[in-house]
Amino acid sequence: MVTRKSDIGLVVTDIDGTLVPIGTHVPSPATRKAMHAMHDAGVYVAAATARPYEAARALFLELGFTGPSVFDGGASIFDVGTSELLWKNWLSLSRLKTAADILLPHAVTVDFFPEYKMLPAAEVNADALTEEAPYAWAMVRESAFDEVIKQLKQLPDLNVHPGVGKPDQPGLIDVQITDINADKFHALTELRKLLNVSKQQTLAIGDSSNDIPLFDGAGLRIAMGNSIPELKALADHEVSTVDEDGWAEAMNRFVL
């Protein structure tokens, strides 16, 4: 059993830009080593990610995640081991269609479905949607992005999560829309209830704007070196970047 230097019992980690570099699914050797040490020390490690469950499960199982984690930007909690949906706060069908109407004319790829399914925007009709979904996601042309965000932010009771673009898809930026209470704070609150862990025993680590609500639910807040300035301003500590194994540094400095 690995010993630990703190009473942290739960680490909630963002994935992209925190646990792994954005656009990849491969953790570094240092991250793998630190993750295994956390498990050996009896610290529960959960994810809080914008990724859908189906797109993240293989990585999570590889790293030894078991039990509940937060997916869909805070709209869902799944048990990684059993695939059971333990909690959800999804978009109603009417709100999903309203967001889709704004996104579709300017999108290349979309996902508006209860299960992870990315389709070309040209193949999707908002009127044909029939079920609620955890989020509305789209890869939007950069030339229209600001106007799309402006329209989405006028809709009531929604969270709008603008992306930063991907190096392999120039000219496109992604955006994810969830219910206003489907963020990482509300999901973390439910996760702590499921695990019977207090806020003071919880460490949160992240890098981007959707990790700001995550910090609100944790007693110890760690910002990656590649974090946005707004998140760094809220952090108790800052570590190295994701490319410099900042996640492993955080676990070794503040937990193990």
The CA distance from 4 to 155, in Å, is 46
Q: Is residue 2 part of a domain?
A: no
Task: Give the tens place of pLDDT for each residue, 42-64.
Answer: 999 999 998 899 888 888 888 88
**Banded model confidence at residue 126, pLDDT cuts 50, 70, 90:** very high
Q: What is the pLDDT of residue 1?
A: 52
For residue 247, give its domain range.
10-88+182-254
Q: Is residue 153 part of a domain?
A: yes
* Number of Cβ atoms within 10 Å of the Cβ of 61: 12
Tell whether 44 and 165 lie within a shared domain: no
Average pLDDT, the chain: 93
Q: What is the pLDDT of residue 241?
A: 98
Kindly tell me if the per-residue pLDDT of 68 is higher than 90.
yes
Tell whether 168 and 191 lie within a shared domain: no
Tell whether 161 and 123 lie within a shared domain: yes
Kindly tell me if the per-residue pLDDT of 123 is higher than 60.
yes
Which residues are CB-neighbours of 165 under 8 A, at least 6 positions away?
A: 142, 172, 173, 174
**End residue of a domain, out of 179, 211, 235:** 179
Per the structure, how many domains does the chain have? 2
Across residues 108-127, what is the average pLDDT? 96
Tell whether 41 and 160 lie within a shared domain: no
Kindly tell me if the per-residue pLDDT of 4 is higher than 80.
no
Task: Give the tens place of pLDDT for each residue, 183-238.
Answer: 999 999 999 999 999 999 999 999 998 899 999 999 999 999 999 999 999 999 99
Kindly tell me if the per-residue pLDDT of 100 is higher than 90.
yes
Q: What is the pLDDT of residue 65?
A: 87
**Banded model confidence at residue 3, pLDDT cuts 50, 70, 90:** low
64-72: Cβ within 8 A, 24+ apart: 64/35, 64/36, 64/39, 67/195, 68/191, 68/194, 68/195, 69/191, 70/12, 70/46, 70/184, 70/187, 70/188, 70/191, 71/47, 71/134, 72/134, 72/135, 72/178, 72/182
Tell whether 160 and 188 lie within a shared domain: no
**End residue of a domain, out of 157, 179, 201:** 179
Tell whether 166 and 111 lie within a shared domain: yes
Tell whether 173 and 188 lie within a shared domain: no
Kindly tell me if the per-residue pLDDT of 115 is higher than 70.
yes
Task: Give the tens place of pLDDT for each residue, 132-167.
Answer: 999 999 999 999 999 999 999 999 999 898 876 776
